[in-house]
Amino acid sequence: MKNQSLLKRLYNAGQGIRASFLSEMNFRLHIMATLLVLIMLIVTRPDPLWWAILLLVSGLVLTLELINTALEKLIDHMHPDQHAVIGIVKDTLAGAVLLASLIALCVFMAFVIEML
């Protein structure tokens, strides 16, 4: 798979995002939340710093959700049986997404308060 063209690599990345979108409800929810943030940014037209901060935390949540999905699918493929350590790994991945989501929510709330 090395030395693929840029277009092929972009296509592959898009396929990964598509697969996560189709298979993971949480990813779809995070996409909808990000769209809500974008709409709020467009409507309120805040300073560029707010755009940067909100897009950064939203992107972080989406990125972590993609990583979580990829690793969970790999883990399930490699070791489909229940195992205590695998459970901890999956819980930790989910915890990372949750923590990033809570941080993003706090930043969004600060934005809303600032806009009032």
17 assigned to some structural domain: yes
Q: Who has greater pLDDT, 97 or 3? A: 97
Tell me the two tokens of residue 105.
Answer: 């929510």
When mean pLDDT is compared across 1-5, 22-26, 65-69, the lowest value belongs to: 1-5
pLDDT of res. 2: 78
Comparing C-alpha atoms, which of 45, 38, 57 is closest to residue 107?
A: 57
Residue 66 inside a domain? The answer is yes
Q: How confident is the model at residue 1 (pLDDT cuts 50, 70, 90)?
A: low
The number of distinct structural domains making up the chain is 1
**Per-residue pLDDT at 3:** 87
Whether 91 is covered by a domain: the verdict is yes
Asked whether residue 105 is domain-assigned, the answer is yes
Domain that holds residue 52: 6-115
Dump pLDDT digits (tens) for 90-99: 999 999 999 9
Does any domain span residue 68? yes
pTM for this predicted structure: 0.92
Residue 1 lies in a domain: no
Q: Specify burial of residue 114 (Cβ count, 10 A radius: 0-12, 13-18, 19+).
A: exposed
Q: For 34-55, how does the pLDDT look when each residue is reduced to its tens digit (9 = 90+)?
A: 999 999 999 999 999 999 999 9
CATH number where 34 lies: 1.10.287.3610
Residue numbers annotated as active site: 65
pLDDT-based confidence at 24, cuts 50/70/90?
very high
